[in-house]
Structure 1
């Protein structure tokens, strides 16, 4: 047994034993420890402990307790998720070692509506999404394709927005960053508007290992209107988010604009205790553009470029639930359409010129899916879950996916044995890029086995999860210079997606939620990656890569073998709070050629070593209505880096140093 596994086991057993002593406490926290979840079954009345998935839940109260200001903060506290900084100015969320340059291997839902651009398949974690509108977040570690179809691959993040409350917020933070928001409900209406504006964090060195001052501005404005009457609900939401690519080569400035807007109509009704219907129809436009300046050594502009990757998506989901004495059946059908809504690259200076961004024009894709799931309570304490889904895909082979789960919820113990499959279709960028197109790219597939055991007492809930995931045709980017073709070499000089033969990842996750007193809340998460290997398989000899790639089985790079997080919140006086979040990342293995493109004097292999990060939080309530909140990110001002995942020869991506954020909130 390795040292990390020992630490996981010792910490888990110690807390388990300690919690046994708390079982005699008189105060019950049943509402906090036994919550119903919907993302794992698409039904109500299923507890967190009995749901046939490994789920972590964060509520509005958790946001207040632990001072979360972004999804980034929240997901950092989920065991099994490793957050990375990426050169393009966004953060990556890797669930159970599923690595990608964008957050496109996770299904992101807002009130059941999928939110992503179709070019990269990306959703953001940072200030681009305001937590002011969030009521709760359910995070599934593991596949969800039986219920949700394509792209519920490594996990699902399901966000439910608020439908009550009235408040106004104003704040200021490091890097000259004002912010403000108004949230208001009136009868059947909900209104939200907010903004965030920042000069942004500047890394010490760029990806080429040289210093160069960049514009790092980040701006977001967002608005939402909802009307709810009886079983009907209508919502319209729009966001404009512009941010700089933090880590660029010297003599380049690039900004990105993401402006998703969607509208949806929902119908939810229970006709009696046995029958219910949930229907949603949505339409989403996702304008996405990049604007870039290039400079010479003297700082003069030599070229101005713009790229546009606009997409749209619309669809509908219908779920029908039927309950008998021992069975809960869910029948579902879905339709989703996405298309190219205008994609091109344009030189603006010195000579205007426009070209296509995709190798084919007028892309349109359809996905029609049907599924059935049964939860059979064959005993008061045991249930068997089975599910099957069929997806008809317009651009790829049709897909079948399945899952089987055996779950039990005893007086204080619970357990889950889960097996199943999932798949993901390539994004436009991965197989249709005008230069790096790969028309032979196929969807990626995975199968999983998960075993969870847990213990729930009056003041605590803790569980240990073992998982083993196997991936076939894993979509992986190689940095390719050229591809030899009969008509001549095709210049790529960029990422090129292939289907890797196989990837195997085995790990342990421990999650603990503990309430030692009414005023204190403790959360602990640990992950140990026991084994993580990849076999790329043969690479076509006509594909010329910039770095050497091991095609036989090899250990995965850039993953921490062990991660730990602890969050603690303390309430005192009349609504005052303090809290702390501590994170530990273990060493990350890096390949040969790591930082080889960086000037020798700036190379530092120690940047991939283990690190700690501490965040602090406080809230002072002047009255029941008025409160001040303070958040110190990276309070110890540690220098933290994520190795350059897509091109290891480049310099690492630096995390922000110590930052302060203060907000004043008034509730009406």
Structure 2
């Protein structure tokens, strides 16, 4: 770890040194715009990214459009320390940060849409309908906290928070954008964007649809059954953001309908594989924000989330969540900011595999920051109480200091949690037993970041250490009622320690050209003393070139993902029936040009090394690998028309 930290420091110093050179032809966008971007994800108020109390990555609209990426998951796969995965039988379901995902459910990562939680109430992490279906055209930028955020956002803001910020239409603007494209696997996709702003009313709406035959995968599932098939998929996403005076409305509907394995047995299905995992996400948030004088802003939000999961043989799972939040931003005097709020939340769940019921949760939170000179001190606290479970406190402390105008430091400590969900508390299945007494999973994280920024360069190095505790596991127990004499039960147990270093840099080299790079290394150990027991890669190195000039743009990006640990590390009896997971390079290229005013053509290639990419089956660990991440080169083209 020390050796890699030395290399990381040298890597950062080299990029800072380059910035001292007199380069007169540096490009003006997009990096200068990135320097000006203010984020809201860390404090629920607008602030410069370098003042924010979090380790934050910002993905700009220029980067979303300039690099390859057919969906949100592929865009997020470029973030330092992040991986977009198909875990267990769930395709395109998970973006993990810092190797801290131990289940197929993405419940250590919280998704926000304009600051409001899009949270699956079945498991906390069935995110395929968002990662695969969300319309990219309406996104202005994405704010990502690498690390915890439960003080302000509660459950699942555990290892990462993804805040999708939609465009804010200009005054007196009406615009429609239509995109159609297609390519490998007989892919066909269409996107529509509608923008309207008149007086105090603004609307931005997006639709995305994709239908393909899917990549051809061949592997052995659980029960020793080998199969081959094209994993086709159908996705549909529709989102709308409306602002009218002090009121705002955000909504999203997403559907993910893939070819899938049998969810109960993790193997090839004898029935229609399209009936195995069909997911629909519903999200609506109605908000009101009112400024009262110069020192007080009051906010009220009513948020509704619902998730529908259609499993094999027509069995269904349904869950919905109603959340009411009142908060206030207070500035008693110039150097002090306070945000405080109360949250009331109720979950309802029902279906073929659930004992129908509901759960009530309440929480209160406060976060303050006080500035004197170049130093800003941060403190925060959330108390959350789940029905019939002992209350939990999540604190946050931090210091952000500008050492000079260009160099600064962040020292942060946070505790975060994710509660148990109906899939763990109320599962009704011959082979699974829910446990209503499961406590929330906890994580404590300490972080140190040194950052540098100037007009044309930004670089940062972050070191972190985390400890997960009360981890929600599942184990086999004797069960006379089970058809096989035993079943799986969920319970809390154990700890898992993580430590790592992350480096990010962006540098404008010449007129219109920007270099983006990141380095990530982590090590982890479970409570049994097993090193690298999370089975995720220890090393990731990512980088790209983005060129934009007049009506032409080109982007090339490569992500190197190191060799992960083998499942045999945790299960010596694992069935090694499939190819092992290896290190891989994921190379993509995108070229686009505006051939006429309002008409743009694009050509994109992904996985250009034509790799068959496998990943450890780190969730159930019965086989060494399961569904591949990629299988073969992908090429697609598109045409966009603006009206």
- Report the TM-score, using the length of structure 1 for normalisation: 0.86
Q: Which of 629, 633, 638 matches 1:655?
A: 629
Q: Which of 619, 622, 644 matches 2:595?
A: 622
Q: Which of 310, 313, 338 matches 1:289?
A: 310
Matching residue of 1:310: 318
Counterparts of 1:177 and 1:495, CA distance in 2:
39
1:362-395: CA deviations, max 9, x gaps? Answer: x21122211111110122x111011111112214
Counterparts of 2:640 and 2:557, CA distance in 1:
22
Question: Quick check: 1:386 aligned with 2:379?
Answer: yes
1:623 deviates by: 2.4
Matching residue of 1:136: 141
SS in 1 for 2:267: coil
Answer whether contact 1:266 1:279 (CA < 8 A) is retained. yes
Matching residue of 1:447: 444
Judged with a 3 Å threshold, the aligned counterparts in structure 2 of structure 1 residues 337 and 251 are, in CA distance, closer, same or farther, namely closer
SS in 2 for 1:73: helix
Matching residue of 2:153: 148
Answer whether contact 1:22 1:458 (CA < 8 A) is retained. no
Q: Which of 204, 214, 217 matches 2:218?
A: 204
Answer whether contact 2:26 2:511 (CA < 8 A) is retained. no
Q: Which of 95, 98, 116 matches 2:97?
A: 95
- Report the TM-score, using the length of structure 2 for normalisation: 0.89
Counterparts of 1:182 and 1:595, CA distance in 2:
50
Matching residue of 1:167: 177
1:603 deviates by: 4.7
Answer whether contact 1:258 1:286 (CA < 8 A) is retained. yes
Alignment of 1:251-266 (within 5 A): 251-252=269-270, 253=273, 254-266=275-287
1:648 deviates by: 2.9
Q: Which of 319, 325, 328 matches 1:320?
A: 328
Judged with a 3 Å threshold, the aligned counterparts in structure 2 of structure 1 residues 567 and 272 are, in CA distance, closer, same or farther, namely farther
SS in 1 for 2:218: coil
1:454 deviates by: 0.7
Matching residue of 2:172: none
Matching residue of 2:540: 563
Q: Which of 193, 213, 238 matches 1:223?
A: 238
1:93 deviates by: 1.9
Counterparts of 1:658 and 1:383, CA distance in 2:
48
1:268 deviates by: 2.4
For structure 2, the 5+ residue unaligned runs are 170-174
Counterparts of 2:119 and 2:484, CA distance in 1:
29
1:230 deviates by: 1.2
Q: Which of 192, 206, 226 matches 1:192?
A: 206
Matching residue of 2:524: 532
Matching residue of 1:301: none
Question: Quick check: 1:458 aligned with 2:452?
Answer: no
Counterparts of 1:146 and 1:162, CA distance in 2:
27
1:175 deviates by: 1.1
1:154 deviates by: 1.3
1:406 deviates by: 0.5
- Superposed CA RMSD in Å reads 2.5
Question: Quick check: 1:420 aligned with 2:414?
Answer: yes
1:235-282: CA deviations, max 9, x gaps? Answer: 443233211226952454353222222332222233444222332212
1:64-122: CA deviations, max 9, x gaps? Answer: 22233322222212112233332322342221221121111111111233223222222
Matching residue of 1:517: 510
Answer whether contact 1:525 1:566 (CA < 8 A) is retained. yes
1:570-603: CA deviations, max 9, x gaps? Answer: 123x3211111111111211243879665x7x55
Question: Quick check: 1:240 aligned with 2:268?
Answer: no
Mean Cα deviation higher: 216-225 or 320-329: 216-225
Answer whether contact 1:202 1:246 (CA < 8 A) is retained. no
SS in 2 for 1:260: strand
Matching residue of 2:464: 467
Counterparts of 1:663 and 1:160, CA distance in 2:
24
Answer whether contact 2:215 2:230 (CA < 8 A) is retained. no
SS in 2 for 1:90: strand
SS in 2 for 1:332: strand
Aligned length: 613
1:201-237: CA deviations, max 9, x gaps? Answer: 2212242465424463311223334442211123443
Counterparts of 1:143 and 1:580, CA distance in 2:
31
For structure 1, the 5+ residue unaligned runs are 292-304, 345-356, 536-550
1:523 deviates by: 1.2
